[in-house]
Structure 1
Amino acid sequence: MGHGHGHGQLTQGSASGRHVGRLTVALVLAAAVMVVELVVALTTSSLALLSDAAHMLTDVLGLGMALTAILLARRSGPTYTRTFGLYRAEVLAALGNAVLLFGVAGYVLVEAVDRVTDPPAVPGLPVLLAATAGLVANVVAFLLLRSGAKESLNVRGAYLEVLADLLGSLGVLVSAVLTLTTGWRYADPIIGVAIGLFVLPRTFTLARRALRILFQHAPHGVDVRRISDELAALPGVVDVHDLHVWTLTSGMEVASAHLTVEADTEPADVLHAAQALLAGHTIEHATLQVEPRESARRCAELSW
């Protein structure tokens, strides 16, 4: 009977860990702009700017959670009580970001409905200046996080919040320009609603991806049936069972399987071939049990 692990090691760190510096810069920018926008929003009664400031608040909280999760996972490796370390903290942070965004979007929509009948007069110039500062900061943060969003769900959560705020800042700019040039009071609440509606579908996607990981579904884009067929086709393998493929955190796919082999098969050869096959499916960490037919009978007796 043989056991083996894939080529990678969990202690190498997740995809998020490579972007700590950029997340830190984005956090500082978001915090500074949030304070400016919040002060101006409260003094001018601008719902659009308040909406953008609220999104900036979720940026600050989201980026803070993302950084905390990465550092926590990095410093708390696998132990005998936490055999996978704390990498799932990153996924929980991403899910927390999604919940925050849902809450902010709902608040803006409710507030906008209350203002439809009597929209307040909003001075355009202070809103315009604050929105410009927010736009510049969001563009910088967007560029910093764009590459990391392709690798890490945690970074992607922060990236989506920055993207929503970038477009929100553009919307606030439009609202401020309309207010300055036409005096139309409905521009501000309408833009506020538009910002809230824009972020909802993207937030849903983020939450769904985080929940897929937490429920240990197969990674997106990984065909588990194909993997099973390919493992079964390896020389000497007569059966594949107890195959599980899941995501520990972004960039860290994990698998386990039992491979039943013929009596005259060399377990080490099957193990190495299976490891190489799984690595070709972006699964670098795998626990594989290579067993003869008589040992495989015990697996059939298990209730789950």
Structure 2
Amino acid sequence: MHSHQIEQLTHDHVFLGDAHDKHAARTRWVVVLTAVMMVVEIVAGLMTGSMALLADGIHMATHAGALGVAAFAYSFARTHADNPRYTFGTGKMGDLAGFASALLLAVFAAGIAVQSVERLFEPGRIAYTEATVIAAFGLLVNLASALLLGADHHHDHDHHQGHGHSHSHGHTDNNLRSAYFHVLADALTSVLAIGALLAGRYLGWAWMDAAMGLVGAAVIGRWSWGLMRDTGAVLLDATSTTDLEGEVREAIEDGDARIVDLHVWQVGPGKFAAVVSLVAESPLTPTDYAKRAQIHEELVHITVETHRCPGPHRNLHAA
């Protein structure tokens, strides 16, 4: 094996999602809606002496905080996108925020579960009319928030479902997904609460309130685990990219060149980096090989190392 070359294509290191700014704007609107509802409920609770209103306002505050984390992540990623301190850009900031939100969702689900179990054994007095009105107002706010976030969330989902490769889930904006799940969690608890309250008021099924709380906790916990699993995989560079790796090999290996070491990992929503080491008897320039692989638009950062290796030694791995 003889001399080798290392080269990468010239490019910037801004690996934000294609709809980053649109997602950021919609998330900020949802933060405003949630914060306004939170303030209204807390003020109304203090003025009327309603503990139910006050408690729901404090509950809304936890979701406003979580959505605020998502909005901050978008802002931070955009502001520091060109900061050389972040070697591979700030594309993973959304996944970090998504992981934090997943933890908050898990805490939220656990809290609902504990409270529901307590109410199963010690049912409390429920102000059905007041509680139903509160849940209905909360549901309206959550539906408005879901409309703001839902279109973009489902667009991402449909895009990567139709992409046809196992690595295509990398197109999902996990920061938007986390904000959407917080809105859905609130909407779900409102819907279940309304159903339970109506059943309790008109059918006498007081136990339905606690039962629906447990159902909601289970669903929210499942969302939390899925979000935690996916964002954690991105943060640990463990995202499955088997198909993309196969496409890189197919684009570069030409009968002479053979890849002996390949690493592909996600650096942002729908953005991947690759490091390739190959051997060839008559290697082209690294730039030529990199351009071959760059037919896949997901690959935004490609580094290629070539080793000249005569035929008899082609089975050796690059040092």
TM-score in terms of structure 2 length = 0.79
Q: Which runs of 5+ in 1 are unaligned?
A: none
Amino acid at match of 1:157: S
Contact 1:34–1:53 (8 Å) recurs in 2: yes
Which one of 248, 253, 267 corresponds to residue 248 of structure 1? Answer: 267
Q: Partner residue of 2:243?
A: 223
Which secondary structure does the structure 2 equivalent of 1:256 belong to? strand
Q: Partner residue of 1:211?
A: 232
Q: Partner residue of 1:156?
A: 177
Q: What whole-Å deviation, never above 9, does each CA across 1:151-174 have from its counterpart, x for those lacking one?
A: 411100111121122222111211
Q: Partner residue of 1:166?
A: 187
Q: Which runs of 5+ in 2 are unaligned?
A: 157-171
Q: Partner residue of 1:193?
A: 214
Amino acid at match of 1:285: H
Instruction: Give, in angstroms, the shift of residue 92 of structure 1.
Output: 1.3
Which secondary structure does the structure 2 equivalent of 1:284 belong to? strand
Instruction: Give, in angstroms, the shift of residue 66 of structure 1.
Output: 1.1
Contact 1:228–1:240 (8 Å) recurs in 2: no
Structure 1 pair 93–109 and aligned structure 2 pair: CA distance change class (3 A): same
5 Å-filtered alignment, 1:74-89, equals 74-89=78-93
Q: Partner residue of 1:129?
A: 133
Give the ranges of 4+ consecutive aligned residues of structure 1 lying more than 4 Å apart after TM superposition: 35-40, 49-53, 296-299
Structure 1 pair 218–241 and aligned structure 2 pair: CA distance change class (3 A): farther
Q: What whole-Å deviation, never above 9, does each CA across 1:130-189 have from its counterpart, x for those lacking one?
A: 111111111111121123322411100111121122222111211222233234322322
| Identity score, percent | 25
Q: Partner residue of 2:22?
A: 18
Which one of 296, 299, 302 corresponds to residue 286 of structure 1? Answer: 302
Q: Partner residue of 1:143?
A: 147
Q: Distance in 1 between matches of 2:98 and 2:61?
A: 15
Which one of 61, 66, 70 corresponds to residue 62 of structure 1? Answer: 66
Structure 1 pair 178–218 and aligned structure 2 pair: CA distance change class (3 A): closer
Structure 1 pair 227–288 and aligned structure 2 pair: CA distance change class (3 A): same
Q: Partner residue of 1:120?
A: 124
TM-score in terms of structure 1 length = 0.82
Contact 2:39–2:57 (8 Å) recurs in 1: no
Q: Distance in 1 between matches of 2:110 and 2:226?
A: 17
Q: Partner residue of 1:184?
A: 205
Contact 2:193–2:212 (8 Å) recurs in 1: yes
Which secondary structure does the structure 2 equivalent of 1:11 belong to? coil
